[in-house]
């Protein structure tokens, strides 16, 4: 037996589609987040770079502002004189004035042994005067005949400073001393701290020499090798500082970790002494912004999907409406076409009939009138012979009736020969109905028919040909009488009314009814259900033709209580 699985299926196709869509949306979200994150991080980094450049500029400007001060001093005759032992006191005062006006911490002059022979802070505690700084690299380098600079913690003041030095030469171009300016960079660090940013400067050894956060000063970004450490100690660059490594890590390009906290990072070389300026930025902001973008994109996508769905359903709805309209239009067109074709068929049949009728009436006309003459002659001779001649009055009577009928047929046929389009004039149908019924009074009596008449009080006027309209009603009433021949109850109800811009004339009888024949069939020329010789099948054809010519309609239906109802609808005469 085949196994039947009645457990509900979890992964139905619609669910699979939904799952796939959800997965795709998640993947898209992740991709967008990644791209947006990269973008914002790059943007934040670019911004960080700009700010770092600004910090670098302030630092470089703070140093270079005083770059030429030692050189100017070195050319000063007073400095040279002092180095030769002349007017040292006067130079001290002069240096104090220069330090004051230029805004440097101190300016001083050293002799070739490294001894400070004049200093701007000669009268302060502690003073550089009398101190020997031969251990400082700036002194050694200047003594080699070139400008030098150095950064270190003051050996005397324990205040950090940037030292700019220049050799002093005599007329023989021999170096006879060194002029030095010590710059205090702490106001700059204080200004950086004010900005609230994490900015610091590390020297070539990785020692932080300047920082917005004071706790970072004298820490190192990387361990210092013992040989180098010994050198630094000899130069007394960072007196009393252990130079402990910082919890610092560079995480690939643009990223760093300080104290375990990840941060955006920009490091700019200062172009001086191998210094690098480091600026740290928020790393989380880019991620936050990226999430904002993902959410915004999701919202926009949802809105667009909703809009798309709405537009599509709107389009579908419109297309549906359109197709329905088109279908209705097509159906209407089709009906019109069928109608036109039926009409054309009818017209062509009537045209054929017209030609036939013309030839028949022409061919029969002559013999029929001849026969009429012979008959008259025979009747006269019969009268003369007292009814005993070869033509008895019985015979002439029979022949007369046959002639009547034949003439009746040709009369009917002549209708189709007659050119149509006789002028239409306003015709009040009320007197038309009265006259026709008066005309047929004899036939109605003969057929023992009860007539019921329902006429309006006022006139019902249509544009038309009165004789033709009479002909229609005559045909309908005659047919009704014929249809009731074998019926026990014989009633004809004729009614006329104006309703909805049309004149409506009905002829109802209690006869055998339409017996399933359509009104179109009944209007076919020569269609008849009556015994041969009794009917030609032209009455309704003629009536239909006349009604059509009047822009109207001839309808027929079985009456609810038995019998048939024929309805003629004609457009009313437009009121003047």
Query: Which residues of this chain interact with ligand ADP, rule CB under 6 A?
Result: 475, 479-480, 483, 509, 511-514, 522, 527-530, 535-541, 564
Which of residues 48 and 542 has its CB atom nearest to ligand ADP in the complex?
Answer: 542
Which of residues 117 and 522 has its CB atom nearest to ligand ADP in the complex?
Answer: 522
Least Å distance, CB 433 to ligand ADP, is: 17
The 3-state DSSP class for residue 350 equals: helix
Least Å distance, CB 353 to ligand ADP, is: 13
Which tokens go with 36?
């947006």
Cis-peptide, bond into residue 126, ω within 30° of zero: yes
Which of residues 176 and 356 has its CB atom nearest to ligand ADP in the complex?
Answer: 356
| Beta strand 564-571 pairing with 160-169 | unpaired
Phi/psi at 143 (5° precision): -65, -25
Least Å distance, CB 462 to ligand ADP, is: 22
Q: How far apart are CA 54 and CA 197, in angstroms?
A: 12
Q: How far apart are CA 2 and CA 327, in angstroms?
A: 49
Which of residues 166 and 509 has its CB atom nearest to ligand ADP in the complex?
Answer: 509
Which of residues 206 and 535 has its CB atom nearest to ligand ADP in the complex?
Answer: 535
Q: How far apart are CA 430 and CA 40, in angstroms?
A: 95
Least Å distance, CB 426 to ligand ADP, is: 28
Which tokens go with 475?
């045909």
Least Å distance, CB 540 to ligand ADP, is: 3
The 3-state DSSP class for residue 523 equals: coil
Which of residues 177 and 539 has its CB atom nearest to ligand ADP in the complex?
Answer: 539
Which of residues 160 and 544 has its CB atom nearest to ligand ADP in the complex?
Answer: 544
Least Å distance, CB 408 to ligand ADP, is: 11
Contact 344, 353 (CB under 8 A): no
Taking alpha carbons only, the member of 523, 433, 448, 516 closest to residue 481 is 448
Q: How far apart are CA 556 and CA 570, in angstroms?
A: 15
CA dihedral (231, 237, 238, 242) in degrees, to 10, reads 0
Which of residues 142 and 474 has its CB atom nearest to ligand ADP in the complex?
Answer: 474
Contact 234, 250 (CB under 8 A): no
Which tokens go with 188?
């700059």
Which residues, other chains included, contact 136 with Cβ-Cβ below 8 Å and sequence gap of 6+?
A: 114, 150, 152, 155, 163, 235, 236
Least Å distance, CB 474 to ligand ADP, is: 11
Least Å distance, CB 445 to ligand ADP, is: 18
Which tokens go with 550?
């009047």
Least Å distance, CB 323 to ligand ADP, is: 42
């Amino acid at each position: 037996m085949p196994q039947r699985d009645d457990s509900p299926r979890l992964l139905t196709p619609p669910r699979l589609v939904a799952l796939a869509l959800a997965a795709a949306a998640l993947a898209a979200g992740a991709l967008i987040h990644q791209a947006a994150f990269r973008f914002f991080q790059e943007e934040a980094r670019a911004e960080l770079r700009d700010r770092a450049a600004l910090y670098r500029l302030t630092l470089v400007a703070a140093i270079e502002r005083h770059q030429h001060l030692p050189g100017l001093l070195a050319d000063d005759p007073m400095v040279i004189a002092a180095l030769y032992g002349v007017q040292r006191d006067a130079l001290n005062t002069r240096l104090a004035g220069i330090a004051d006006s230029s805004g440097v911490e101190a300016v001083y002059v050293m002799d070739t042994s490294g001894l400070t022979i004049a200093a701007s802070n000669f009268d302060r505690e502690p003073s550089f005067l009398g101190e020997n700084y031969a251990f400082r690299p700036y002194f050694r380098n200047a003594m080699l005949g070139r400008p030098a600079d150095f950064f270190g913690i003051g050996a005397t003041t324990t205040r950090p400073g940037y030292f700019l030095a220049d050799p002093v030469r005599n007329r023989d171009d021999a170096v006879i001393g060194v002029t030095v300016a010590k710059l205090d960079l702490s106001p700059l660090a204080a200004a950086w701290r004010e900005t609230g940013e994490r900015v610091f400067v590390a020297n070539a050894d990785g020692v932080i020499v300047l920082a917005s956060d004071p706790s970072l000063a004298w820490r190192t970004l990387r361990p210092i090798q013992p040989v180098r450490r010994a050198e630094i100690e000899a130069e007394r660059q960072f007196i009393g500082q252990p130079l402990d490594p910082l919890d610092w890590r560079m995480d690939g390009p643009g990223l760093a970790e300080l104290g375990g906290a990840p941060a955006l990072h920009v490091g700019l070389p200062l172009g001086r002494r191998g210094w690098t300026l480091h600026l740290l930025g928020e790393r989380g902001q880019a991620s936050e912004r990226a999430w904002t973008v993902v959410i915004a994109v999701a919202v926009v996508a949802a809105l667009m999907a909703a809009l798309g769905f709405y537009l599509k359903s709107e389009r579908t709805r419109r297309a549906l409406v359109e197709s329905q309209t088109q279908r209705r239009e097509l159906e209407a067109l089709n009906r019109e076409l069928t109608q036109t074709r039926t009409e054309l068929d009818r017209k062509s049949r009537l045209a054929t009939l017209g030609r036939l009728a013309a030839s028949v009436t022409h061919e029969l006309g002559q013999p029929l009138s001849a026969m009429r003459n012979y008959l008259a002659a025979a009747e006269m001779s019969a009268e003369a012979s007292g009814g005993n001649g070869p033509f008895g009055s019985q015979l002439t009577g029979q022949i007369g009736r046959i002639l009547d009928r034949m003439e009746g047929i040709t009369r009917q046929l002549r209708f189709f020969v007659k050119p149509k389009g006789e002028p239409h004039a306003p015709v009040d149908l009320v007197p038309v109905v009265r006259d026709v019924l008066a005309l047929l009074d004899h036939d109605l009596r003969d057929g023992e028919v009860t007539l019921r008449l329902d006429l309006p009080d006022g006139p019902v006027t249509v544009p038309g040909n009165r004789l033709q309209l009479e002909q229609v009603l005559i045909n309908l009433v005659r047919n009704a009488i014929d249809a009731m021949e074998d019926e026990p109850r014989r009633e004809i109800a004729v009614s006329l009314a104006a309703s909805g811009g049309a004149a409506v004339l009905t002829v109802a009888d209690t006869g055998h009814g339409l017996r399933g024949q359509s009104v179109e069939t009944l209007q076919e020329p020569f269609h008849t259900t009556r015994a041969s010789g009794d009917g030609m099948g032209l009455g309704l054809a003629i009536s239909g033709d006349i009604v059509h010519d009047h822009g109207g309609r001839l309808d027929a239906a079985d009456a609810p209580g038995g019998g048939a109802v024929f309805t003629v609808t004609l457009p009313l005469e437009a009121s003047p």
